[in-house]
A and B are shown apart, each in its own frame.
Chain A
């Protein structure tokens, strides 16, 4: 277990009773990140690339430094790191700038039923627009992807063919907590079709797992700063250099051009080609403090901490409530992140979340932007509790007490 880190997070000074169990939706922010935001806004809050004056140069330097910190964090090249607003925008960027270039009628786009809408809808729409075939990988009852494992080996021949141009899948499910065997899937998919483009939604992995893009060998990886202790308004798209170069720009306008004439425009090279207009400068600058904080805490230690909390929570939920609690997702902790979605008796998830909120316990209720998955699980909604580095065993125990109160109130 990590030491108690709550002191690093100012929200707990202002709201000491808070039991925050919704880091899957949004992480809390450590003081170092807030201080960096204030530093930018109070010392050098100038636009980037444009000014020849000192504070603009300072802002540009700080902004570009974050690009290097992100690149190092995922073992990428600096110019392969594009800043967007969030994971959703990163994925849409690929769907528009590459998808619309390479997808023809009859091609296949493959995704999974466990995706967040942001890695589902862009591909569904692209398929509808182009006449491509939209294929969806199902899950098994244990919440893992329904892929064919032949004597321990993954066999993708049923889903991936030579016509599959894009495979878009999540590294970690934001509902089931399933951590997909990504490296193996990518390797097998590329063996079947070396030209396949693999888009990885890492929104729930970048905050918790070591990501090495060179080792994974996918083509795009998307994630959001706000889920990994950083500010809102910043997303990352990592893409392979050759692909970023051949793609269309996404948005056109300032910052992304090198020369503009009456009859034509020459674009900048990636990543700037994809960063039109003034970005979230202060937020990008402060994002690197979040990554530094994660690194100094240690990603492996964070994962270990979350594993222990998750196991503890799964155990005491079962001990206290038995069959009344139905928990979704893998039982094997090695294949599961610190995310626990459940239903409780026949209580409505909204009522559960509201009564927990009365006790300052923040959980999420609903379909968590994964309607196809909830339909697959045959539930309208679930309650979801999730853990991050500031959570501890006492938070888990308070959740259990909170659920007892729910039971008492509603029966």
Chain B
């Protein structure tokens, strides 16, 4: 089965939460020098809740769709929820059969999330 499912393509072509936030509470970036992919992530936190979240960057369909889908699940969640995001969470969310090589693309947003609060 192709990894380019309708959902993946939809989130690649119309990424949700795409852009920057002017004065974010936290900011991070992640990149994969092997393929030149690069993501930036901004969040606004109010009363321990993720009030707003946006990402921007360049990447393949998988890395963009993954960032779009993941940020969607995070909006308005408790800040602690960030800790729940791990490899398995993302694999389940994308619901496609990624080989080892493409998994790296899907996990670029995870790297950005991990860097957010440090």
Contacts and interface: CB of A to CB of B under 8 A. Distances in A.
Q: Do A and B come from one complex?
A: yes
Contacts of A348: 35, 37, 59-61
B96 to A, nearest CB: 11
Contacts of B34: 366-367, 381
B5 to A, nearest CB: 11
Contact of A409 (B9, B35, B60, B62): B9
B81 interface: no
B62 A350 contact: yes
Interface in A292-340: none
Contacts of A355: 2, 4
B60 A350 contact: yes
A7 to B, nearest CB: 30
B63 to A, nearest CB: 8
Most chain A beta-carbon contacts within 10 A, residue among B2, B3, B60? B60
Nearest to A409: B4
Nearest to B101: A350
B115 interface: no
Interface in B69-118: 102, 105
B62 to A, nearest CB: 7
Given A348-B59, A348-B60, A409-B9, A354 B4 contact: yes
B36 interface: yes
Contacts of B37: 348
A358 B36 CA distance: 23
A351 interface: yes
B36 A354 contact: no
B38 to A, nearest CB: 9
Interface string A337-370: 0000000000011110011001000000111000
A380 B62 CA distance: 17
A350 B63 CA distance: 10
Contacts of B3: 354
B4 A366 contact: no
Contacts, number: 39
Interface string A163-205: 0000000000000000000000000000000000000000000
A410 interface: yes
A381 B4 CA distance: 20
A351 B9 contact: no
Interface string A375-394: 00000110000000000000
A350 B4 CA distance: 12
A117 B60 CA distance: 25
Interface residues of A, number: 14
Given A350-B105, A409-B4, A380 B61 contact: no
Nearest to B60: A348
Interface string B40-66: 000000000000000000011110000
Contacts of B9: 409-410
Most chain A beta-carbon contacts within 10 A, residue among B35, B37, B62, B105? B35
B4 A349 contact: no
A410 B105 CA distance: 17
Nearest to A410: B61
Contact of B60 (A351, A358, A367): A351
B107 to A, nearest CB: 14
A371 to B, nearest CB: 8
Nearest to A350: B60
Interface string A395-411: 00000000000000110
Contacts of A366: 34-35
A357 to B, nearest CB: 9
A380 B4 contact: no
A410 B4 CA distance: 9
Interface in B1-51: 2-4, 9, 12, 34-37
B23 to A, nearest CB: 31
Nearest to A381: B35
B10 to A, nearest CB: 12
A354 B59 CA distance: 14
A381 B60 CA distance: 11
Contacts of A351: 4, 60-62
Nearest to A355: B4
29 contacts: A348-B35, A348-B37, A348-B60, A348-B61, A349-B35, A349-B60, A350-B60, A351-B4, A351-B60, A354-B3, A354-B4, A354-B62, A354-B102, A355-B2, A355-B4, A358-B2, A358-B4, A365-B35, A366-B34, A380-B35, A380-B36, A381-B34, A381-B35, A381-B36, A409-B4, A410-B4, A410-B9, A410-B12, A410-B61
Interface of A: 348-351, 354-355, 358, 365-367, 380-381, 409-410
